[in-house]
Homo-oligomer: A and B are copies of this chain.
Amino acid sequence: MMKDEVLTTMSNRYQAEVGKNRPTMRHVAALAGVGIKTVSRVMNNEPGVSEATRLRVVGASQQLNYQLDMTAGSLRRSGRQTLSVGLLLPSVSNPFSSEIHRAMEDALSVRGIAVFAASLDDDPEREKALVAAFLGRRVDGLVLTPIARSQAYVIPEHSRDLPTVFIDREPVGVEADAVVTDNAAGAAKAAAHLISRGHRKLAYLGDRTDIQTARERRRGFLESLAAAGIATSAIPIREGLHDEESARQATHELLASDDPPTAIFSSQNLVTFGAMRGLKELNANKRIALVGFDDFALADMMDPGITVVAQHPERIGKLAAERILARIDGDQSAPQTYVVPSELIVRGSGELAPPG
Protein backbone atom coordinates (compact mmCIF):
# COMPACT_ATOMS: atom_id res chain seq x y z
CA MET A 1 0.00 0.00 0.00
CA MET A 2 2.54 2.49 1.21
CA LYS A 3 4.93 1.35 -1.43
CA ASP A 4 2.40 1.69 -4.19
CA GLU A 5 1.57 5.18 -3.10
CA VAL A 6 5.20 6.19 -3.23
CA LEU A 7 5.57 4.64 -6.64
CA THR A 8 2.56 6.51 -7.95
CA THR A 9 3.97 9.77 -6.65
CA MET A 10 7.24 9.03 -8.32
CA SER A 11 5.78 8.21 -11.65
CA ASN A 12 3.58 11.29 -11.49
CA ARG A 13 6.54 13.43 -10.73
CA TYR A 14 8.63 12.12 -13.57
CA GLN A 15 5.94 11.30 -16.04
CA ALA A 16 6.21 12.59 -19.55
CA GLU A 17 5.07 16.17 -19.62
CA VAL A 18 6.21 18.57 -22.29
CA GLY A 19 5.90 21.59 -20.09
CA LYS A 20 7.77 24.50 -18.72
CA ASN A 21 10.05 22.48 -16.53
CA ARG A 22 13.21 21.34 -18.18
CA PRO A 23 13.27 17.54 -18.27
CA THR A 24 16.03 15.62 -16.52
CA MET A 25 17.43 12.17 -16.99
CA ARG A 26 14.84 10.90 -14.58
CA HIS A 27 12.07 12.00 -16.88
CA VAL A 28 13.71 10.39 -19.87
CA ALA A 29 14.40 7.22 -17.89
CA ALA A 30 10.81 7.02 -16.70
CA LEU A 31 9.46 7.48 -20.20
CA ALA A 32 11.84 4.95 -21.72
CA GLY A 33 11.34 2.53 -18.87
CA VAL A 34 15.03 2.28 -18.00
CA GLY A 35 17.34 3.41 -15.21
CA ILE A 36 18.92 6.84 -15.29
CA LYS A 37 22.38 5.38 -15.64
CA THR A 38 21.34 3.86 -18.93
CA VAL A 39 20.13 7.24 -20.11
CA SER A 40 23.49 8.67 -19.09
CA ARG A 41 25.24 5.99 -21.09
CA VAL A 42 23.19 6.73 -24.17
CA MET A 43 23.58 10.49 -23.96
CA ASN A 44 27.34 10.13 -23.62
CA ASN A 45 27.67 7.50 -26.32
CA GLU A 46 29.12 5.05 -23.88
CA PRO A 47 29.25 1.41 -24.92
CA GLY A 48 27.33 -1.33 -23.19
CA VAL A 49 23.80 -0.47 -24.22
CA SER A 50 21.81 -2.74 -26.48
CA GLU A 51 20.61 -1.20 -29.69
CA ALA A 52 16.95 -1.72 -28.74
CA THR A 53 17.40 0.12 -25.42
CA ARG A 54 19.42 2.85 -27.07
CA LEU A 55 16.64 3.54 -29.54
CA ARG A 56 14.02 3.68 -26.80
CA VAL A 57 16.11 6.17 -24.86
CA VAL A 58 16.86 8.31 -27.88
CA GLY A 59 13.18 8.35 -28.73
CA ALA A 60 12.19 9.39 -25.23
CA SER A 61 14.81 12.11 -25.07
CA GLN A 62 13.69 13.54 -28.37
CA GLN A 63 10.07 13.42 -27.36
CA LEU A 64 10.86 15.41 -24.22
CA ASN A 65 13.40 17.63 -25.95
CA TYR A 66 15.91 16.55 -23.39
CA GLN A 67 19.25 18.35 -23.26
CA LEU A 68 22.13 16.93 -21.24
CA ASP A 69 23.12 19.31 -18.43
CA MET A 70 26.87 19.78 -18.79
CA THR A 71 27.13 21.80 -15.61
CA ALA A 72 25.76 18.97 -13.50
CA GLY A 73 27.87 16.46 -15.39
CA SER A 74 31.10 18.31 -14.90
CA LEU A 75 30.42 18.44 -11.19
CA ARG A 76 30.52 14.69 -10.87
CA ARG A 77 32.70 13.73 -13.79
CA SER A 78 36.28 12.83 -13.01
CA GLY A 79 38.63 15.55 -14.09
CA ARG A 80 35.76 17.98 -13.73
CA GLN A 81 36.12 19.48 -17.17
CA THR A 82 33.65 22.14 -18.14
CA LEU A 83 34.74 22.28 -21.78
CA SER A 84 35.16 26.02 -21.57
CA VAL A 85 38.10 28.37 -21.49
CA GLY A 86 38.38 32.01 -20.52
CA LEU A 87 39.91 34.54 -22.87
CA LEU A 88 40.94 37.97 -21.67
CA LEU A 89 41.57 40.54 -24.38
CA PRO A 90 42.24 44.28 -24.48
CA SER A 91 38.83 44.53 -26.11
CA VAL A 92 36.76 41.98 -27.97
CA SER A 93 36.01 44.68 -30.54
CA ASN A 94 39.64 45.47 -31.26
CA PRO A 95 40.43 43.91 -34.66
CA PHE A 96 43.72 42.42 -33.53
CA SER A 97 42.07 40.86 -30.49
CA SER A 98 39.07 39.59 -32.34
CA GLU A 99 41.27 37.84 -34.89
CA ILE A 100 42.96 36.03 -32.03
CA HIS A 101 39.57 35.22 -30.58
CA ARG A 102 38.39 33.80 -33.85
CA ALA A 103 41.47 31.65 -34.36
CA MET A 104 41.15 30.26 -30.85
CA GLU A 105 37.49 29.53 -31.33
CA ASP A 106 38.27 27.58 -34.48
CA ALA A 107 40.96 25.53 -32.81
CA LEU A 108 38.96 24.85 -29.66
CA SER A 109 35.54 24.22 -31.13
CA VAL A 110 36.68 21.01 -32.80
CA ARG A 111 37.12 19.69 -29.27
CA GLY A 112 33.75 21.03 -28.19
CA ILE A 113 35.30 23.73 -26.03
CA ALA A 114 33.45 27.03 -25.74
CA VAL A 115 35.11 30.38 -25.16
CA PHE A 116 34.26 33.03 -22.59
CA ALA A 117 35.73 36.26 -23.88
CA ALA A 118 35.99 39.49 -21.93
CA SER A 119 37.51 42.92 -22.39
CA LEU A 120 40.11 44.47 -20.11
CA ASP A 121 40.12 48.10 -21.19
CA ASP A 122 43.60 48.57 -19.78
CA ASP A 123 42.27 48.19 -16.27
CA PRO A 124 44.45 46.05 -14.00
CA GLU A 125 41.63 45.70 -11.50
CA ARG A 126 39.38 44.28 -14.18
CA GLU A 127 42.10 41.82 -15.04
CA LYS A 128 41.98 40.29 -11.58
CA ALA A 129 38.20 40.47 -11.32
CA LEU A 130 37.67 38.80 -14.68
CA VAL A 131 40.14 36.05 -13.91
CA ALA A 132 38.24 35.44 -10.69
CA ALA A 133 34.97 35.36 -12.61
CA PHE A 134 36.40 32.77 -15.00
CA LEU A 135 37.75 30.67 -12.16
CA GLY A 136 34.37 30.76 -10.45
CA ARG A 137 32.94 29.25 -13.60
CA ARG A 138 35.60 26.56 -13.45
CA VAL A 139 37.05 27.09 -16.89
CA ASP A 140 39.46 24.41 -18.08
CA GLY A 141 42.02 26.98 -19.13
CA LEU A 142 42.88 30.63 -19.18
CA VAL A 143 44.28 32.71 -22.03
CA LEU A 144 45.27 36.18 -20.93
CA THR A 145 46.63 39.40 -22.29
CA PRO A 146 48.38 40.69 -19.20
CA ILE A 147 47.80 44.32 -18.21
CA ALA A 148 48.54 44.49 -14.50
CA ARG A 149 52.09 45.04 -13.37
CA SER A 150 52.33 41.47 -12.19
CA GLN A 151 50.43 38.28 -12.82
CA ALA A 152 51.59 36.66 -9.58
CA TYR A 153 47.95 36.46 -8.54
CA VAL A 154 47.44 33.47 -10.80
CA ILE A 155 50.16 31.49 -9.01
CA PRO A 156 47.74 29.55 -6.81
CA GLU A 157 45.77 28.48 -9.86
CA HIS A 158 48.85 27.74 -11.84
CA SER A 159 50.20 25.51 -9.11
CA ARG A 160 46.85 23.74 -9.22
CA ASP A 161 47.72 22.91 -12.82
CA LEU A 162 45.19 25.23 -14.38
CA PRO A 163 46.38 25.55 -17.99
CA THR A 164 47.35 29.16 -18.55
CA VAL A 165 48.74 30.84 -21.64
CA PHE A 166 49.64 34.49 -21.96
CA ILE A 167 49.35 36.17 -25.30
CA ASP A 168 50.82 39.31 -26.81
CA ARG A 169 52.86 40.09 -23.70
CA GLU A 170 54.91 37.92 -21.40
CA PRO A 171 53.71 37.65 -17.82
CA VAL A 172 55.54 39.06 -14.83
CA GLY A 173 55.81 37.12 -11.62
CA VAL A 174 54.69 33.72 -12.95
CA GLU A 175 56.27 31.12 -15.14
CA ALA A 176 53.80 30.17 -17.81
CA ASP A 177 53.49 29.64 -21.52
CA ALA A 178 53.38 32.76 -23.62
CA VAL A 179 52.77 33.45 -27.30
CA VAL A 180 54.14 36.77 -28.52
CA THR A 181 55.14 38.62 -31.64
CA ASP A 182 58.82 39.38 -32.27
CA ASN A 183 58.24 42.99 -31.39
CA ALA A 184 61.86 44.13 -31.32
CA ALA A 185 62.77 42.30 -34.52
CA GLY A 186 59.70 43.62 -36.27
CA ALA A 187 60.43 47.21 -35.36
CA ALA A 188 64.06 46.69 -36.37
CA LYS A 189 62.90 45.39 -39.73
CA ALA A 190 60.83 48.53 -40.23
CA ALA A 191 63.73 50.81 -39.36
CA ALA A 192 66.14 48.88 -41.57
CA HIS A 193 63.68 49.12 -44.44
CA LEU A 194 63.47 52.90 -44.16
CA ILE A 195 67.24 53.19 -43.81
CA SER A 196 67.77 51.05 -46.90
CA ARG A 197 65.66 53.55 -48.83
CA GLY A 198 68.10 56.28 -47.91
CA HIS A 199 66.42 57.77 -44.89
CA ARG A 200 68.64 59.09 -42.10
CA LYS A 201 66.22 61.41 -40.33
CA LEU A 202 63.71 59.03 -38.82
CA ALA A 203 61.15 59.67 -36.12
CA TYR A 204 59.52 57.29 -33.69
CA LEU A 205 55.89 57.53 -32.59
CA GLY A 206 55.27 55.18 -29.70
CA ASP A 207 52.68 53.93 -27.29
CA ARG A 208 52.71 54.24 -23.50
CA THR A 209 56.03 53.01 -22.12
CA ASP A 210 54.42 50.98 -19.37
CA ILE A 211 53.42 48.49 -22.05
CA GLN A 212 56.07 45.85 -22.49
CA THR A 213 55.55 45.44 -26.21
CA ALA A 214 55.91 49.19 -26.74
CA ARG A 215 59.28 49.15 -25.00
CA GLU A 216 60.37 46.17 -27.08
CA ARG A 217 59.46 47.90 -30.28
CA ARG A 218 61.38 51.02 -29.31
CA ARG A 219 64.38 48.91 -28.42
CA GLY A 220 64.34 47.14 -31.79
CA PHE A 221 63.91 50.41 -33.61
CA LEU A 222 66.83 52.08 -31.85
CA GLU A 223 69.09 49.05 -32.18
CA SER A 224 68.49 49.03 -35.88
CA LEU A 225 69.46 52.68 -36.13
CA ALA A 226 72.57 52.09 -34.07
CA ALA A 227 73.55 49.17 -36.26
CA ALA A 228 73.37 51.49 -39.27
CA GLY A 229 75.57 54.00 -37.55
CA ILE A 230 72.87 56.60 -37.05
CA ALA A 231 73.18 58.67 -33.89
CA THR A 232 70.03 57.88 -31.96
CA SER A 233 70.36 61.01 -29.85
CA ALA A 234 69.20 63.16 -32.75
CA ILE A 235 66.14 61.00 -33.39
CA PRO A 236 62.85 62.39 -32.12
CA ILE A 237 61.14 59.84 -29.91
CA ARG A 238 57.53 60.68 -29.15
CA GLU A 239 55.96 58.27 -26.71
CA GLY A 240 52.91 57.95 -24.52
CA LEU A 241 50.64 58.11 -27.55
CA HIS A 242 47.62 55.94 -27.05
CA ASP A 243 45.07 57.16 -29.51
CA GLU A 244 44.67 58.62 -32.95
CA GLU A 245 44.41 62.22 -31.82
CA SER A 246 47.60 62.33 -29.78
CA ALA A 247 49.48 60.69 -32.65
CA ARG A 248 48.04 63.18 -35.10
CA GLN A 249 49.22 66.07 -32.97
CA ALA A 250 52.64 64.57 -32.52
CA THR A 251 52.92 64.24 -36.29
CA HIS A 252 52.07 67.90 -36.74
CA GLU A 253 54.67 68.89 -34.17
CA LEU A 254 57.33 66.72 -35.75
CA LEU A 255 56.86 68.22 -39.20
CA ALA A 256 56.80 71.75 -37.81
CA SER A 257 60.19 71.35 -36.17
CA ASP A 258 63.42 72.95 -37.40
CA ASP A 259 64.78 69.76 -38.84
CA PRO A 260 61.76 67.59 -39.67
CA PRO A 261 62.14 63.86 -40.22
CA THR A 262 61.88 62.34 -43.68
CA ALA A 263 60.40 59.08 -42.39
CA ILE A 264 58.16 58.04 -39.52
CA PHE A 265 57.79 54.74 -37.74
CA SER A 266 54.55 54.37 -35.82
CA SER A 267 54.54 51.61 -33.28
CA GLN A 268 50.87 50.64 -33.26
CA ASN A 269 47.59 50.64 -35.13
CA LEU A 270 45.93 53.74 -33.74
CA VAL A 271 49.19 55.64 -33.78
CA THR A 272 49.56 54.81 -37.46
CA PHE A 273 46.07 56.12 -38.13
CA GLY A 274 46.91 59.37 -36.38
CA ALA A 275 50.15 59.72 -38.32
CA MET A 276 48.35 59.07 -41.62
CA ARG A 277 45.80 61.69 -40.76
CA GLY A 278 48.43 64.21 -39.71
CA LEU A 279 50.49 63.66 -42.84
CA LYS A 280 47.46 64.01 -45.07
CA GLU A 281 46.40 67.23 -43.39
CA LEU A 282 49.86 68.63 -44.03
CA ASN A 283 49.75 67.31 -47.57
CA ALA A 284 52.87 65.34 -46.74
CA ASN A 285 51.50 61.84 -47.24
CA LYS A 286 53.30 61.43 -50.56
CA ARG A 287 56.48 63.02 -49.32
CA ILE A 288 57.16 61.67 -45.82
CA ALA A 289 57.75 57.92 -45.60
CA LEU A 290 55.70 55.94 -43.08
CA VAL A 291 55.92 52.41 -41.79
CA GLY A 292 53.47 51.26 -39.16
CA PHE A 293 53.42 48.34 -36.77
CA ASP A 294 50.22 46.27 -37.16
CA ASP A 295 48.40 45.63 -40.39
CA PHE A 296 44.87 46.93 -40.93
CA ALA A 297 42.02 46.68 -43.39
CA LEU A 298 42.21 48.90 -46.48
CA ALA A 299 45.88 49.76 -45.88
CA ASP A 300 46.42 49.09 -49.57
CA MET A 301 43.66 51.51 -50.53
CA MET A 302 45.42 54.50 -49.01
CA ASP A 303 47.31 57.00 -51.10
CA PRO A 304 49.98 55.74 -51.06
CA GLY A 305 49.36 52.27 -49.69
CA ILE A 306 50.65 51.97 -46.14
CA THR A 307 53.70 49.79 -45.61
CA VAL A 308 53.42 47.91 -42.35
CA VAL A 309 55.02 45.34 -40.14
CA ALA A 310 52.15 42.91 -39.81
CA GLN A 311 51.53 40.75 -36.79
CA HIS A 312 49.75 37.47 -37.33
CA PRO A 313 46.92 37.36 -34.81
CA GLU A 314 45.44 34.23 -36.37
CA ARG A 315 48.72 32.39 -35.82
CA ILE A 316 48.99 33.71 -32.29
CA GLY A 317 45.47 32.56 -31.50
CA LYS A 318 45.98 29.16 -33.08
CA LEU A 319 49.23 28.60 -31.23
CA ALA A 320 47.75 29.72 -27.92
CA ALA A 321 44.85 27.33 -28.41
CA GLU A 322 47.25 24.50 -29.18
CA ARG A 323 49.22 25.19 -26.03
CA ILE A 324 46.06 25.24 -23.93
CA LEU A 325 44.91 21.97 -25.44
CA ALA A 326 48.30 20.37 -24.85
CA ARG A 327 48.24 21.45 -21.20
CA ILE A 328 44.67 20.26 -20.80
CA ASP A 329 45.81 16.94 -22.20
CA GLY A 330 48.42 16.74 -19.50
CA ASP A 331 51.55 18.22 -21.02
CA GLN A 332 53.78 18.93 -18.02
CA SER A 333 56.81 20.29 -19.85
CA ALA A 334 58.46 23.48 -18.68
CA PRO A 335 56.68 26.71 -19.63
CA GLN A 336 57.95 28.27 -22.80
CA THR A 337 57.60 31.46 -24.78
CA TYR A 338 56.61 31.03 -28.39
CA VAL A 339 57.50 33.80 -30.81
CA VAL A 340 55.39 34.40 -33.91
CA PRO A 341 57.43 36.29 -36.51
CA SER A 342 56.12 39.53 -37.93
CA GLU A 343 56.16 40.32 -41.60
CA LEU A 344 57.01 43.46 -43.54
CA ILE A 345 54.34 44.24 -46.11
CA VAL A 346 55.45 46.73 -48.73
CA ARG A 347 52.73 48.99 -50.10
CA GLY A 348 54.25 52.33 -50.98
CA SER A 349 54.36 54.61 -47.97
CA GLY A 350 57.54 53.02 -46.70
CA GLU A 351 59.26 53.28 -50.07
CA LEU A 352 59.00 57.01 -50.53
CA ALA A 353 62.58 58.29 -50.98
CA PRO A 354 64.00 61.13 -48.92
CA PRO A 355 64.24 64.46 -50.77
CA GLY A 356 67.40 65.19 -52.71
CA gap between A84 and B134 in the complex, in Å: 11
Enumerate chain B residues within 8 angstroms of A133, measured Cβ to Cβ: 112, 114
Of B67, B84, B93, B302, which is within 8 A of A99 by CB? B93
The answer to whether A102 and B112 touch (CB under 8 A), given A70-B136, A71-B74, is no
A65 interfacial contact with B, CB 8 Å? yes
Check B93–A102 contact: CB distance below 8 A.
Answer: yes
CA gap between A118 and B65 in the complex, in Å: 23
A119 interfacial contact with B, CB 8 Å? yes
Enumerate chain B residues within 8 angstroms of A82, measured Cβ to Cβ: 71, 137
Interface window among A2-10, A26-34, A230-238, A272-280: A272-280
Check A71–B105 contact: CB distance below 8 A.
Answer: no
**A31 CB to nearest B CB, Å:** 15
CA gap between A295 and B216 in the complex, in Å: 34
Interface residues of A in 153-192 (CB under 8 A from B): 156, 159-161
Check B20–A161 contact: CB distance below 8 A.
Answer: yes
Enumerate chain B residues within 8 angstroms of A94, measured Cβ to Cβ: 98
Check B84–A105 contact: CB distance below 8 A.
Answer: no
Check A117–B118 contact: CB distance below 8 A.
Answer: no
Of B75, B105, B297, B302, which is within 8 A of A118 by CB? B105
Interface residues of A in 1-55 (CB under 8 A from B): 18, 20-22
Interface residues of A in 257-277 (CB under 8 A from B): 273, 276-277
The chain B residue sitting closest to A91, CB to CB, is: B102
Enumerate chain B residues within 8 angstroms of A118, measured Cβ to Cβ: 105, 109, 114-115
Give the dominant DSSP class at A's interface.
mixed
Interface residues of A in 65-112 (CB under 8 A from B): 65, 67-72, 74-75, 82, 84, 91-95, 98-99, 101-102, 105-106, 109, 112
CA gap between A133 and B82 in the complex, in Å: 12
A122 interfacial contact with B, CB 8 Å? no
A58 interfacial contact with B, CB 8 Å? no
Check B136–A119 contact: CB distance below 8 A.
Answer: no
CA gap between A82 and B74 in the complex, in Å: 14
CA gap between A75 and B22 in the complex, in Å: 13
**A284 CB to nearest B CB, Å:** 14
A135 interfacial contact with B, CB 8 Å? yes
**A103 CB to nearest B CB, Å:** 8
15 more contacts with CB within 8 A, not counting A71-B137, A92-B117, A114-B134, are: A68-B136, A70-B136, A71-B71, A71-B74, A71-B75, A84-B137, A93-B99, A94-B98, A95-B98, A105-B117, A109-B118, A114-B116, A114-B133, A273-B301, A296-B297
Of the A-B pairs whose beta carbons lie under 8 Å apart in the complex, a sample of 17, sorted by A's number, is: A20-B161, A21-B160, A65-B156, A67-B132, A69-B136, A92-B98, A92-B101, A92-B102, A93-B99, A93-B101, A114-B116, A114-B134, A115-B117, A115-B118, A117-B117, A296-B297, A297-B298
The 4 closest A-B pairs by CB, nearest first: A93-B102, A65-B156, A93-B98, A98-B98
